[in-house]
Structure 1
Amino acid sequence: LYKGVSVGQYSYIDAPEIPDNDDIAVVRSDDGKQWRYVPDHRGKTVFNIDNQASCTVDYLGEIKTGFTLLAPVAKFDKWDGKKWVTDNQAMKADQINTANQTKHQLIDEAESKITLLDRKVRLGMATNSEKTALRAWEMYSVKLNDIDTATAPEIDWPIKPA
């Protein structure tokens, strides 16, 4: 058909139809006889359905098993096979854990202040404002101890004494 004409390596005499969709790549079949149209998600972010880890697609074809183009909305989202669903129990447990940590940090701070102020009062070295501060820190500490962290994140934290 084309006598005396050669075609360069990886060149073909038939042109593919160019798809209107940017998510389709045109490639030659393995046997070199025809054009194939394959999904092209290169450069897009995909998410691991087991741990939400993200990565960028750098291959042609369907998204690999175990990944999705759908982004999780929350740290506690779990893949249900079709979409991300928030695991409310895990989220609540994390909120309670965070509240417990905050409570313990605030109590430790209060007890540190109370210890020093109490020592000053016992040794007769405290000013009237330090005596007042001791009472305020003790009341603050009691209020902190009374907090039920199971109500997290709806906790009304007491105001720290000045």
Structure 2
Amino acid sequence: MEYYYSAKTNAFYPDILIDEYKKHGTFPDDAVLVTEACFNQYSADPEPGKMRVADKKGMPSWGDQPEPTREMMVYQASEQKNALRDQADKIIAPLKDAKEYGIITEVEDLVLKEWAIYRYNLSKVDVETYPDINWPVKPV
């Protein structure tokens, strides 16, 4: 199998699908045939901190990943906050059920209280303060 590379899309296109790409108008006009070795090298996972880019000649190359923007970091923090909230919810839900039906132990009741306080403190986290986010300490 042969592959084409497009600098515009920074993607490879297998030759067996070219007719389909053209039929749908998605085959880039700058696509060039590359060697199998080139395809194998630049379709593999890069080293940490690197990404595939097009060089000045329009061929694939490894380049440095850009530093994440503040918006990206705020988004990541928001995703982390949601994941922590989901974890707390999963721990709290059965403990609340046990408390509601009077089958909770003293130790479980303390665990419920710690996780409820943690979840409340987590809800107050403002991810917009990145990089100075004050994360609450998760119960053990």
Q: TM-score when scaled to structure 2?
A: 0.55
State which structure, 1 or 2, has the greater radius of gyration over its C-alpha atoms: 1
Q: What amino acid sits opposite 1:118 in the alignment? A: K
Query: Structure 2 vs 1, CA of residues 64 and 133 (structure 1 numbering), >3 Å: closer, same or farther?
Result: same
Contact 2:52 2:60 in 1 (8 A): no
- Equivalence for 1:130: 108
Q: Distance in 2 between matches of 1:75 and 1:141?
A: 34
Q: Distance in 1 between matches of 2:60 and 2:113?
A: 57
Matched residue SS, 2:69: helix
Q: What amino acid sits opposite 2:82 in the alignment? A: H
Q: Over residues 96-131 of structure 1, what are the superposed CA-to-partner deviations in whole Å (9 max), with x where a residue is unaligned?
A: 000000000000111111111111111111110110
- Equivalence for 1:150: 128
Q: How many residues align?
A: 90
- Cα shift at 1:155: 1.5
| Structure 1 position 75 matched with structure 2 position 66 | yes
Q: Which runs of 5+ in 1 are unaligned?
A: 1-51, 58-62, 77-89
| Structure 1 position 117 matched with structure 2 position 116 | no
Q: Which runs of 5+ in 2 are unaligned?
A: 1-50
- Cα shift at 1:153: 2.7
Q: Distance in 2 between matches of 1:53 and 1:108?
A: 34
Q: What amino acid sits opposite 1:148 in the alignment? A: D
- Equivalence for 1:5: none
Q: Distance in 1 between matches of 2:111 and 2:79?
A: 25
Matched residue SS, 1:157: coil
- Cα shift at 1:143: 0.7
Moved over 4 A (4+): 65-68
Q: Which structure: greater helix fraction?
A: 2
Q: What amino acid sits opposite 2:57 in the alignment? A: K
Q: Distance in 2 between matches of 1:113 and 1:155?
A: 24
Matches for 1:39-118 after TM superposition, within 5 Å = 53-54=52-53, 64=57, 72=64, 75-76=66-67, 91-118=69-96
Q: Which has the higher contact order (CA 8 A, sep 6+)?
A: 2
Matched residue SS, 1:53: strand
Give aligned-pair identity as a percent. 26
